[in-house]
Structure 1
Amino acid sequence: MKSETITVRTLFENRRQYCVPFYQRAYVWTLEDQWEQLWDDIREKADARLANQKATPHFLGAVVLEPQPRVGLVGVDVLHIIDGQQRLTTLQFVLASILLTLKSPEDDTYIGIVKACFENGNPQSMRDPAVEIFKVWPTFRDRDNYKLALAAPNLDELRARFPAHFTRTAELRKIGSDHPTALAALWYFSRAFTTWLTADLEHVSAHVDALVNAVLHDLKVVSIILDPEDDAQIIFETLNGRGAQLHATDLIRNYLFMRADEDKADPESLYDTLWSPFETEYWATEQRRGRLKKPRLEWLIHTALQAELHEEVDLSRLYFEYRKYAVQGGVPLTAERQLLTLTEYAKHYKELIGGTGTTPIARFGRRISPYDITTLYPLALMISSSALPDDAKTEMFNDLVSYLVRRAVCNLTFKNYNNVFLTTLRQLYGDGVTPQGLRRVLGGLSGEASRWPLDGEFRSACLTAPLYHGRLDAPKVRSILTELEGHLRSTVHSEEPTLPDLSELDIDHILPRSWFEHWPLPKISAEPNQEATNAPLASSSEAANVELLVQVGEPLNERQRSISDRQDSVNRLGNLTLLNLSVNRAAQNYAFKSKRDLLIANTNLRLNIPLILFESWDEEAIKVRGGLLADAALIVWPGPRP
């Protein structure tokens, strides 16, 4: 390679075009992050020239360029920008803005010099003058607005070409308009230049000279021209941290299409058919997992790699992990093969995280959403992308949901799930992806960190565990109640067999958490010298005192035991249901008869209809209903088979 430090004028004055490879990312520099600082640097150099101070160069960094083979005499020389497209594109915005700013006939000499660095001459010897006239040719996502803005001869014409982006007073809109970057850059720099040039009207010519020289001669770049034997990808990786930080997916995209060149494939066709769907806003949207926030595409690739490699993938080294995948067994996968694999995984991943649709993985995504267990995703992709029929996939997903629900209800940790699901993935890969294989792996897990609870433990937890508030948060409880409602509907000949959307319903404690005023304790004989044990509580503090006694292990009298039993029962599954928000608010903490009347008038859920038959609601009623729901839970979330 050949490396040299050159001025902006030297960089652009030759008849050549710096072309951004079509697969590179779009232009991303902004006013706040880069343009303002660049103008500060230019202005500093221009002010120094006005003060007759010694000119010192300002380095903008490196640009890496790869000459392309020239065919015949017609056309301009083309160099691919391997690294530095943000700098080169911004410098063209600066030069275009100078041309928009200089209007006086006295400026003609400077206009000619700047124009020579802004556009290629002798269009009659070009194959495509409309393209080759530009010194920098951006990726296709930026081209339309780039051409439209840079071809404007003056500011009036620039406004005319983008009318929706300007106010009636000819100012660029500040609110409610997402401006094309080319337009925003030209407007910013031209306004900044005009303000600076006209600050001293008696010396405008001197300011023009200082500005043009500052840009063309004081700004410098390190130009690296690659030789044919140089590895452009390695150079790109080495320098990718300059400017706006690249995502791992930017590196992966570049690697893929340099691989396509080596495969003698048609990179543009591969891009249009297989990669361009990943350039949408959907895949660029950042998603949070724990403390990390990454573009959705990055999470997809991370998940897909784990499904392919059957091992944990370090997210901070995603690009290098990807390259390891791409050369498995020492034989590089073709770019087309890599893209087809990623496209297949993307289809399943989108359904998984979206939870919409009727495919097995979409239904699975809806069911596990409240648990936020993303370490399960690689295994889910492996199952969904397998050749199994849908009923077999559904069977496997049902077992995975059962595993999550049973462990959550039984208050077992989720901290080992990464190891559990990667181990399961590896075993299925070795033994075959089948429902029997998955059940064998899950059923064989032991220890508190990984076992799949048996029916007895699960049923007991459904009957007696404090689920809400307690072991489970609201999304998990709502999901469990919703699935139980769906099962109960399937057991009767209902006029509404289809489960409606219950996501907006409130989780309700039938016996309210603040039961003290309207819900007397069960009738138990009075103890000597004490008030009746079922007398209403004077305040919630009495219940709080009982809870404190339980915590420290103090013995309880009969009334205190009754209060403790009541407090324990409130958060059990048998006391939980779903209600319309307004019904729940109307019921508040009133006695059961008032709540039952509201249910008669307002509910059609199978969870609630049996409540209408109860004359009273107490610990015994909660136990009876809890038993019915626990039996249903054993069917909805079946456990390990003997």
Structure 2
Amino acid sequence: MRAETNNFEFIRDNKTRVIVPFFQRPYVWKKDHWKQLLSDLKDSFKENRSIFLGFIILKENDKKIYSIIDGQQRLTTCSILIKILYDFLEQEQRDELDLRNYLFDKTNIKINHSKLDKKKYEKIITGEIIDIKEEKGIFGCFNYFKSEVERLKKEINLYEFAKFITKEENKLWVIIYLDENEDEQKIFDSINSKGQRLSSTDIIKNALFDKIIKITNENKAMEYYQDYWNNVFDKDEATQEFWNKEVETGRIKRSRSEILLHSYATINGIFKSEHSLSHLSSLYKEHIKNLDENKLKQILKELKDYSEIYRDFPDINKETTFKYEKYELRFFHIISVYNINTILPLVLFLKNLLNQKKSIYKECLYLLEALIVCNILCNVSSKDYNKFFPQIIEKIKGKQDNDVIDSIKEAICEKYKDKESFDKDKIKSKLKCIKNNKKATLILFWIELYKREQKKDYKDDTSSLEYNYTLEHLLPQSWETHWSDIIQDEEEAKEFIYQIGNMTLLKGKLNSTLQNNSWNNKLIRIDGKVNTDLLINKELEDKLWTKTEIEKRTSKFIDDFFKIWNVDLFEI
């Protein structure tokens, strides 16, 4: 390994070319990066001082042909800036600075980009791009610099600015040249600190294909990449957007690709409950360190299989509509409301294991759903889920069909037998005093959908519902003014206000005056068309709201709860 300070001069040599390895991440720099880079270069130029832009790590493949291990983002960005400056300068100025040789080796482009950005980058450097209105990625970078240099030419001499960037004595970065046998991955991980931080997905991908190249060859690695990675994660912008989308996972957000890689690592014992997600990439690298080609191929194949399952899972958002009979959608709705992502490895494993046994998969999800709902209602902590769900995976490995159901049931009963999660009396008491609006809203929503599924002759639209309702207490929490003929004191009020039967769902929140008003005035609003689409509201028509009615409705809802989530399945 040797290191030297340099600038674009290193690439101007006629025979020098840089290749971005096929497995590296696409161009991800954004406006903040471009703005900072141009500002730093402009300030240094004005003050005639040197500037340090970071490290570039290169590995020689052939004489003067290098693979870029780190620095492709800043090298690509600077080359686009030079192309913009080239376009703004007169031909005589271009020739004097020899700018074309920073971009081309005769007719070949100096930087041979990876498949993901190759076409866009080549269009920019060859001048094919004319008017593509994009603000992100490679084209976004081109458009930003084009508009900024247009403004900059009124402020500084562009010829002198281009000369400043390219002149030999102005060292922009430290270039590290690696020998053939040096471990570029170690240096890559330790030095990559400037620019946009690599995700776990980036590092794991780099490590996997770097290892495959080492034990096979680049052509074989490219074949595996096309079959098992590109077609899954990188094949087009829509695919990249899906896997790059960040999802709430507790206190932080993680991309879907990282969630998938974490799930796979959990299923295969690479990631254990004592590990932190920040260690995911290092755990993968340690795991693959001594694997042969067949084992690495197996990892890629299994990741592809699990990715297809993951993509087939319901995507829950504000516009999602729900039906009771859509059991998988119901399950994912419940875990999304309470952000229970620790169960995903188990669900992925179950769906893969039972891909030809839908009825058994359905029963397994039902058991897990009942566990989660009852634990939520009974205030049982979910903090042990990260240990418990992987334990179930180990318990059911190698099991077949109904043995899988029995194993899940046994694991749940053993773990929660002392928690009272499936004690009917405990659940009834919780439903008679439910002070958490989020819990009540979720339970009432699925009771409504259950009733719709049961009432086949219901004439209104029973197809589906969006989860966009507000919880309303029929007997209000501020009861004193209009309800004192029914409720005698605060103690009695608390006994009835928080019963599930005293609650309903409305399309919009009532104002405080109407919330606390008499029953007749509230019922007029509830009877409005926007709210009577719900069966649980239609049942309120022509009723006087009394303590007896609250208890009767609570009793019905408790029965519905146990029909939806049959806790008798768990033998306590």
> What's the CA shift for 1:315?
0.9
| Pairing 1:484–2:450 present | no
Residue in 1 that maps onto 2:394: 426
The secondary structure found in structure 1 opposite 2:55 is strand
Stretch deviating more after TM superposition (226-235 or 178-187):
178-187
Residue in 2 that maps onto 1:538: none
The secondary structure found in structure 2 opposite 1:578 is strand
AA partner of residue 566 (structure 1): A
- What is the distance in 2 between the residues matched to 1:26 and 1:487? 46
- What is the distance in 2 between the residues matched to 1:585 and 1:63? 62
| Pairing 1:12–2:12 present | yes
> What's the CA shift for 1:210?
7.5
Residue in 2 that maps onto 1:377: 344
Q: Which has the larger radius of gyration?
A: 1
Q: What pairs up with 1:559-574 in 2 under 5 angstroms?
A: 559-560=488-489, 563-574=490-501
Residue in 2 that maps onto 1:436: 406
AA partner of residue 641 (structure 1): E
| Contact residue 508 and residue 584 of structure 1 kept, 8 A | no
The secondary structure found in structure 2 opposite 1:141 is coil
- What is the distance in 2 between the residues matched to 1:599 and 1:108? 75
- What is the distance in 1 between the residues matched to 2:177 and 2:409? 59
Task: Pick from 247, 250, 258 the counterpart of residue 210 of structure 2.
Answer: 258
| Pairing 1:612–2:541 present | yes
Residue segments in structure 2 that go unaligned for 5+ positions in a row: none
AA partner of residue 606 (structure 1): L
Q: 1:269 to 1:636 in 2, by over 3 A?
A: same
| Pairing 1:509–2:469 present | no
- What is the distance in 1 between the residues matched to 2:558 and 2:474? 17
AA partner of residue 118 (structure 1): L
Q: 1:37 to 1:339 in 2, by over 3 A?
A: same
- What is the distance in 1 between the residues matched to 2:287 and 2:91? 60
Q: What pairs up with 1:428-577 in 2 under 5 angstroms?
A: 428-429=396-397, 434-446=404-416, 452-462=421-431, 464-465=432-433, 467=434, 470=435, 472-474=436-438, 476-496=439-459, 498=462, 500-522=464-486, 559-560=488-489, 563-577=490-504
Q: 1:5 to 1:178 in 2, by over 3 A?
A: closer
| Pairing 1:241–2:193 present | yes
The secondary structure found in structure 2 opposite 1:628 is helix
| Pairing 1:275–2:245 present | no
Residue in 2 that maps onto 1:392: 360
| Pairing 1:230–2:193 present | no
Task: Pick from 250, 253, 256 the counterpart of residue 296 of structure 1.
Answer: 256
Residue in 1 that maps onto 2:99: 114
> What's the CA shift for 1:637?
0.9
| Contact residue 24 and residue 139 of structure 1 kept, 8 A | yes
> What's the CA shift for 1:509?
1.9
| Pairing 1:318–2:304 present | no
Residue segments in structure 1 that go unaligned for 5+ positions in a row: 49-55, 71-76, 122-128, 153-157, 166-172, 199-207, 523-533, 535-558
- What is the distance in 1 between the residues matched to 2:539 and 2:7? 83
Stretch deviating more after TM superposition (26-35 or 451-460):
26-35
- Post-superposition CA distance 1:105-146 (Å, at most 9, x none): 4x36524x332333212xxxxxxx4xx2x1112233333332
- What is the distance in 2 between the residues matched to 1:109 and 1:599? 78
AA partner of residue 174 (structure 2): V
- What is the distance in 2 between the residues matched to 1:256 and 1:359? 38
- What is the distance in 1 between the residues matched to 2:137 and 2:298? 40
The alignment yields a C-alpha RMSD, in angstroms, of 3.6
Residue in 1 that maps onto 2:54: 61
The secondary structure found in structure 2 opposite 1:380 is helix
- Post-superposition CA distance 1:435-461 (Å, at most 9, x none): 11111111112476x553222221232
The secondary structure found in structure 2 opposite 1:65 is strand
| Contact residue 28 and residue 86 of structure 1 kept, 8 A | yes
Residue in 1 that maps onto 2:308: 347
Q: 1:488 to 1:28 in 2, by over 3 A?
A: closer
| Contact residue 353 and residue 365 of structure 1 kept, 8 A | yes
AA partner of residue 65 (structure 1): L
Per the normalisation by structure 1, the TM-score is 0.75
> What's the CA shift for 1:622?
1.3
Task: Pick from 614, 621, 632 the counterpart of residue 560 of structure 2.
Answer: 632
| Pairing 1:144–2:119 present | yes
- Post-superposition CA distance 1:592-637 (Å, at most 9, x none): 34555666674254323443364x3222221122112112211211
> What's the CA shift for 1:480?
0.9
> What's the CA shift for 1:177?
12
AA partner of residue 119 (structure 1): F
Task: Pick from 280, 294, 305 the counterpart of residue 265 of structure 2.
Answer: 305
Q: 1:32 to 1:135 in 2, by over 3 A?
A: same
Q: 1:234 to 1:481 in 2, by over 3 A?
A: same
The secondary structure found in structure 2 opposite 1:68 is strand
| Pairing 1:367–2:330 present | no
- Post-superposition CA distance 1:187-241 (Å, at most 9, x none): 434653563117xxxxxxxxx4685155221124433333332233333223333
- What is the distance in 1 between the residues matched to 2:161 and 2:541? 88
- Post-superposition CA distance 1:156-177 (Å, at most 9, x none): xx8xx43354xxxxxxx99x99
- What is the distance in 2 between the residues matched to 1:7 and 1:582? 62
The secondary structure found in structure 1 opposite 2:422 is coil
- What is the distance in 2 between the residues matched to 1:478 and 1:252? 41
- Post-superposition CA distance 1:312-341 (Å, at most 9, x none): 24211111122344468x556655433332
- What is the distance in 1 between the residues matched to 2:183 and 2:230? 25
Task: Pick from 181, 185, 195 the counterpart of residue 145 of structure 2.
Answer: 185
The secondary structure found in structure 2 opposite 1:223 is strand
- Post-superposition CA distance 1:424-478 (Å, at most 9, x none): 3333337667111111111112476x5532222212322x22x1xx1x333x322
- What is the distance in 2 between the residues matched to 1:586 and 1:502? 27
| Contact residue 512 and residue 589 of structure 1 kept, 8 A | yes
Q: 1:412 to 1:30 in 2, by over 3 A?
A: closer
> What's the CA shift for 1:569?
0.8
Per the normalisation by structure 2, the TM-score is 0.83
